[in-house]
């Protein structure tokens, strides 16, 4: 089903309430539905209705002017802030600095959002998109008669609908995309990727955490929660130091499928996990995505993560508490003839971790396998080396994906090589896309490429030298003469005076002379024109 704006206006507009805010709707979606139902021809008129000015751009996750919007739609501003924006997630990661962001979002000071939300210091190249789920749109239209942009779909890290588990569709925002226009959720591009369980898990975890934080249910000290979880998992020494190398390896292996996706779902900068120490030791606020990648590895759900504070702390075994060298303990128990499961239970680490450590150091282990032969192992390594996907290898040999992953990790350097192959594929894909864009439009400028094609920024970050060698030649500077406002004032005054018909507002007059916005934005430079405009509006209102 696909619902056009015309159909929406015909079926829904007569019963539409401008003050109606639907649960789960984003700020952008709320104003979009008002814009379509009101019949305004221009987004500028809608902005004038709500904000009292024309040029307003709404961020999909962190829009400002919440107080003005709440007053217009007769909604509590704090409720709108916590249920129609991504503020709860940012407040969670900002801790005691969240109050500053709250004040900015409620006000009109949009230029401060990047710094107060730590978006700028995080330096994450997050996509500027408005996202939606096709099935959610159908359900929204059938149940409520509206096409709703859901706030949960806009959150960074959410690539799949948490309700239906399907990849989302997106429309680019910012310059070169929607920009300041108000568009219904239709005609978007799908997020193209192979089946990716980790992407679904990340989307689900971010959404559940967002719902949990909306009611401010998180405990006061999240750092204590991390400490307890890392202690249970065996990543903290008795002195409180992080076994960072082991933790980073485990995190990378856990989220590897997410970072290897052909479609870049989250910034690759997050794959180095060098920010974990900043989170644990509370050195500085970090982006909420970094918290989520750590939390989702430690616990099955946000509820399980926070529920740990309600239970008693488990006793840590003496062997792990009194020996900081976890590897030495594993090797000692292997030399003593202990099985993988016995070592796993004794040290409270995963069987996979013990197995990989043993294989990398040439220990003979009892594999307890039924059908995995040495020949199959070698074939798995060969296919992994040339870049086969783990799921395809598993299907080819009729084994589990986990088994394939263990074999890949047991071969030193193979995981890094596969990551190199993924980057090579992305490099080739983005190079081809850039060259095709230039070939299809030889007159395109560098700035137009930057605004319209995501391949530009990927190459800028990862293949800058090649990018600069293949970009179009920079344009020579052009001279644009300044506007002669005195002459324009005389010309427009005559044009306005000769206009037929009645005009009840400056907006109508401005549209009648071409819709340039001169009467709205440059009134001080057009004194004679404004005098004529005032006369026409006064006469039109008097006739009414």
* pLDDT tens, residue by residue, 289-298: 999 999 999 9
258 touches 422 (CB < 8 A): no
CA dihedral 64, 67, 70, 71 (to 10 degrees): -140
Are 505 and 448 found together in one domain?
Answer: no
Q: What is the pLDDT of residue 2?
A: 41
Identify the three-state secondary structure at position 164. coil
Are 54 and 160 found together in one domain?
Answer: yes
Question: What's the start-to-end Cα distance of the chain, in Å?
Answer: 44
Are 429 and 401 found together in one domain?
Answer: no
Are 156 and 232 found together in one domain?
Answer: no
Identify the three-state secondary structure at position 321. helix
Report CA-CA distances (Å) from 162 to 38, 165, 196, 523: 31, 6, 14, 49
Long-range CB pairs of 447-453, under 8 A, 24+ apart, other chains included:
448/176, 451/174, 451/175, 451/176, 452/176
Q: What is the pLDDT of residue 155?
A: 93
Report CA-CA distances (Å) from 80 to 28, 55, 66, 133, 405: 12, 22, 7, 22, 44
Using CA atoms, how far apart are residues 433 and 454, in angstroms rounded to an integer? Answer: 9
Using CA atoms, how far apart are residues 529 and 485, in angstroms rounded to an integer? Answer: 11
Long-range CB pairs of 39-44, under 8 A, 24+ apart, other chains included:
39/9, 39/13, 41/511, 42/515, 43/180, 43/181, 43/182, 44/507, 44/517, 44/520
Using CA atoms, how far apart are residues 470 and 446, in angstroms rounded to an integer? Answer: 11
Q: What is the mean pLDDT of each run of 10 residues along the chain (544 residues)?
A: 44 48 89 88 90 88 91 91 92 84 87 75 72 91 86 92 90 81 88 83 94 73 86 79 85 88 77 87 87 93 80 43 65 85 84 80 68 82 90 86 84 88 92 92 88 89 92 81 90 90 87 88 91 88 66
Using CA atoms, how far apart are residues 89 and 122, in angstroms rounded to an integer? Answer: 15
Q: Look up tokens 């709707």; give the residue.
A: 25
Are 43 and 177 found together in one domain?
Answer: yes
329 assigned to some structural domain: no
pTM for this entry: 0.58
320 touches 329 (CB < 8 A): yes
Choosing from 361, 382, 411, the residue where a domain stops is 411
Using CA atoms, how far apart are residues 395 and 346, in angstroms rounded to an integer? Answer: 34
Are 165 and 21 found together in one domain?
Answer: yes
Contacts of 484 (CB under 8 A, 6+ apart): none
Are 46 and 146 found together in one domain?
Answer: yes
Per DSSP, 236 falls in state: B
Using CA atoms, how far apart are residues 229 and 416, in angstroms rounded to an integer? Answer: 28
Q: What is the pLDDT of residue 312?
A: 43
Identify the three-state secondary structure at position 92. helix
Structural domain that includes position 303: 216-316
338 assigned to some structural domain: no
Are 394 and 270 found together in one domain?
Answer: no
337 assigned to some structural domain: no
Q: What is the pLDDT of residue 207?
A: 95
Q: What is the pLDDT of residue 28?
A: 93
Choosing from 127, 156, 191, the residue where a domain stops is 191
Structure tokens that stand for 326 in this block = 């976890």
Are 24 and 157 found together in one domain?
Answer: yes
Among 352, 371, 370, 368, which residue's Cα sits nearest to residue 360? 352
Structure tokens that stand for 114 in this block = 């990047």
169 assigned to some structural domain: yes
Are 147 and 51 found together in one domain?
Answer: yes
347 assigned to some structural domain: no
Are 185 and 100 found together in one domain?
Answer: yes
144 touches 8 (CB < 8 A): no
Contacts of 529 (CB under 8 A, 6+ apart): 489, 492, 493, 496, 518, 519
Contacts of 171 (CB under 8 A, 6+ apart): 129, 130, 177, 178, 183, 185, 187, 188, 189
Q: What is the pLDDT of residue 370?
A: 56
Using CA atoms, how far apart are residues 452 and 469, in angstroms rounded to an integer? Answer: 19
Q: What is the pLDDT of residue 294?
A: 95
Per DSSP, 160 falls in state: B
Using CA atoms, how far apart are residues 279 and 292, in angstroms rounded to an integer? Answer: 11
Q: How many domains does the structure of the chain reveal?
A: 5
Choosing from 298, 316, 334, the residue where a domain stops is 316
DSSP element (H, E) containing 190: strand 189-190
The alpha carbon of 145 is separated from its chain's Cα centroid by a whole number of angstroms, namely 28
Using CA atoms, how far apart are residues 25 and 215, in angstroms rounded to an integer? Answer: 17
Are 402 and 303 found together in one domain?
Answer: no
Q: In what order do the strands lie in the sheet with 129-132?
A: 129-132, 169-172, 189-190
CA dihedral 449, 453, 457, 462 (to 10 degrees): -110
204 touches 399 (CB < 8 A): no
């Amino acid at each position: 089903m696909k619902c056009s704006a015309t159909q929406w206006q015909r079926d829904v507009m007569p019963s539409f309430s401008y003050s109606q805010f639907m649960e789960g709707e984003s700020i952008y979606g709320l104003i979009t539905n008002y814009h379509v139902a009101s019949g305004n021809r221009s987004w500028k008129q809608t902005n004038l209705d709500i904000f009292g000015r024309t040029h307003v751009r709404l961020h999909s996750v962190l829009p400002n002017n919440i107080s003005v919007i709440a007053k217009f739609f007769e909604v509590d501003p704090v409720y709108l802030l916590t249920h129609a924006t991504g503020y709860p997630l940012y407040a969670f990661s900002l801790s005691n600095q969240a109050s500053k962001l709250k004040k900015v979002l409620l006000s009109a000071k949009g230029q401060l959002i990047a710094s107060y939300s730590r978006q700028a210091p995080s330096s994450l190249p997050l996509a500027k998109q408005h996202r939606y789920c096709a099935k959610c749109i159908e359900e929204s239209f059938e149940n409520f008669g509206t096409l709703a942009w859901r706030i949960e779909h806009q959150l960074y890290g959410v690539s799949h609908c948490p309700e239906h588990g399907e990849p989302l569709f997106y429309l680019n925002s910012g310059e070169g995309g929607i920009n300041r226009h108000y568009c219904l959720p239709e005609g978007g591009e799908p997020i193209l990727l192979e089946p990716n369980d980790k992407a679904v898990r990340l989307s689900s975890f971010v959404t559940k955490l967002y719902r949990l934080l909306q009611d401010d249910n998180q405990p006061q000290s999240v750092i204590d929660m991390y400490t307890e979880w890392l202690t249970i998992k065996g990543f903290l020494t008795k002195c409180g130091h992080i076994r960072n190398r082991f933790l980073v390896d485990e995190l990378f292996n856990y989220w590897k499928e997410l970072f290897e996706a052909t479609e870049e779902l989250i910034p690759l900068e997050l794959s180095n996990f060098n920010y974990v120490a900043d989170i644990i030791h509370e050195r500085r606020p970090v982006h909420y995505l970094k918290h989520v990648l750590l939390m989702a590895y430690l616990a099955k759900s946000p509820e399980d993560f926070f529920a740990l504070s309600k239970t008693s702390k488990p006793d840590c075994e003496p062997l792990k508490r009194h020996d900081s060298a976890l590897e030495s303990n594993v090797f000692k128990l292997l030399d003593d003839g202990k099985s993988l499961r016995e070592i796993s239970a004794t040290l409270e680490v995963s069987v996979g971790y013990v197995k990989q450590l043993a294989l990398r150091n040439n220990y003979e282990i009892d594999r307890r396998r039924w059908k995995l032969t040495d020949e199959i192992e070698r074939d798995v390594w060969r296919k992994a080396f040339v870049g086969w996907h783990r799921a395809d290898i598993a299907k080819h040999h009729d084994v589990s994906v986990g088994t394939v992953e263990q074999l890949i990790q047991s071969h030193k350097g193979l995981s890094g090589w596969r990551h190199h192959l993924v980057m090579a594929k992305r490099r080739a894909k983005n190079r081809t896309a850039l060259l095709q864009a230039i070939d299809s439009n030889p007159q395109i400028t560098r700035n137009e490429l930057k605004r319209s094609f995501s391949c530009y920024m990927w190459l800028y970050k990862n293949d800058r030298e090649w990018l600069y060698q293949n970009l179009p030649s920079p344009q020579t500077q052009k001279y644009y003469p300044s506007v002669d406002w005195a002459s324009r004032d005389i010309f427009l005054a005559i044009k306005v005076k000769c206009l037929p018909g009645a005009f009840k507002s400056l907006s109508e007059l401005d549209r009648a002379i071409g819709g340039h916005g001169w009467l709205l934005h440059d009134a001080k430079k057009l004194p004679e024109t404004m005098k004529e405009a005032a006369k026409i509006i006064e006469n039109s209102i008097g006739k009414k």
